[in-house]
Amino acid sequence: MGDFMFGIEFVPDMPLDDLVKHCILAEDHGFDAVWITDHYNNRNVYATLALVAERTKRVRLGPGVTNAYQVHPALTASAIATIDKISNGRAMLGIGAGDRTTLTSLGIQMDKPVARLREAVEIIRRLLAGERLSFQGNFFKIDGAKLSFKCPEIPIYIGAQGPLMLRTASAIGDGVLINASHPLDFKYAMPQVQKGSPKQGFDVAAYASFSVDLDEGRAKKAVVPVVAFIAAGAPAPVLERHGIDSTDVAAIKSAFAKGDFKTAFGSVTNQMVDVFSIYGSPDHCIQRIRELHDIGVTQVVVGSPIGPDVSTSIRLIGEEIIGEFDG
Ligand code: F42
């Protein structure tokens, strides 16, 4: 299948020793990319990436995804350039609108996220290119800023789900990280991506909740809590696209609001698990990834929970799944 890639996502809320061990294991088992999520309440994304960069040799790595509300684009340019240096040119930058709930808890209003992201990406690219930059945007004003070191080009991926963000991603990015697992979501997304006239080699990544195990029941059990959170946060058009009853989702939301996780997880339906994750035996996961590939996906990012036992699942993906997509 040519250049099909496998990425893996880690949330830096676990002991960093474990996170680094998982990254090394993933590299040894054929993964191409490591994406580290960015939320202020977890360990810092660039410090984590520096550690991973230092302890790995081959995998590409980057934040998946940072945003242009919490971090000024000039700082993002400097941070990702530093990771690129530490990793000998393996850095990639994932950037998106930012998580609304997280931003709200910091008192940040998410106004015009797409327009803001466009400006940020332009600033980052021009600073990385070594330009002394003066920029008068609607969101950022820059007066003669310049990085004090040289940096090679770094691929920029945009996190996107909405139609405008998907079109923008392909117009200004080198790739897109689409937070979805089901073929229907990619059948919806691909025409939007095409509308932005993506460049040759534009990478369409499925940033998917994933759980693989030889025992399908165990794989499912591990993914249900993650699916509960995804279903609770899914926008109405996504629920409609899949014919998911909003009252079923309301039950999960109200249980979460009461702090009743048991009821929330117990309210997850089989359909929700199928829609919001890739889970099951290696064969079943291969089948689902093939469907995504046929629609135009060029990278699968194996995201939380990965499996009931993360190390075992990383090995399983390396030994049983990745080889199916080589050459
Ligand atoms: N968020 C995080 O905070 N941390 C992470 O680690 C993270 C990882 C991640 C990985 C993949 C991924 O796809 C998303 C990820 N996210 C993460 C979430 C990300 O930050 C965004 O919240 C998420 O991708 C939502 O993106 P979206 O494509 O749905 O875009 C939102 C903003 C949206 O509403 N888009 C609409 C659309 O059609 O695309 C349109 C909005 C719009 O029209 N806005 C206009 C504009 O200029 O922005 C303005 C309209 C007006 O006039 O107000």
- Closest atom, ligand 1, to C-alpha of 37: 6
CA–centroid distance, 162 to ligand 1, in Å, is 7
Please count the structural domains in the chain.
1
CB 158 within 8 A of CB 165: yes
Residue nearest to atom 51 of ligand 1 (CA): 112
- Closest atom, ligand 1, to C-alpha of 45: 6
Structure tokens at 42: 């977890």
CA–centroid distance, 159 to ligand 1, in Å, is 7
Q: Would you say residue 239 lies in a domain? A: no
Q: Would you say residue 223 lies in a domain? A: no
DSSP assignment of 103-165 equals HHHTT----SHHHHHHHHHHHHHHHHTT--EEEE-SS-EEEEE--SS------EEEE--SHHH
Q: Which helix (H) or strand (E) holds 204?
A: strand 203-212
Q: Which domain holds residue 293?
A: 5-216+280-325
CA–centroid distance, 318 to ligand 1, in Å, is 31
Q: Would you say residue 230 lies in a domain? A: no
CA angle, 142 then 42 then 19, to 5°: 115
Q: Would you say residue 56 lies in a domain? A: yes
Residue nearest to atom 30 of ligand 1 (CA): 162
**What's this model's pTM, rounded to 2 decimal places?**
0.97
CATH number of the domain residue 192 falls in: 3.20.20.30
Q: Would you say residue 259 lies in a domain? A: no
For residue 52, the model assigns a pLDDT of 98
For residue 214, the model assigns a pLDDT of 97
Q: Would you say residue 233 lies in a domain? A: no
For residue 327, the model assigns a pLDDT of 64
For residue 2, the model assigns a pLDDT of 56
Cβ of 112 below 6 Å from ligand 1: yes
For residue 234, the model assigns a pLDDT of 93
Q: Would you say residue 234 lies in a domain? A: no
CA–centroid distance, 241 to ligand 1, in Å, is 18
CA–centroid distance, 114 to ligand 1, in Å, is 7
For residue 309, the model assigns a pLDDT of 97
Q: Would you say residue 49 lies in a domain? A: yes
CA–centroid distance, 214 to ligand 1, in Å, is 35
The parts of the chain modelled with pLDDT lower than 70 are 1-2, 327
- Closest atom, ligand 1, to C-alpha of 111: 53
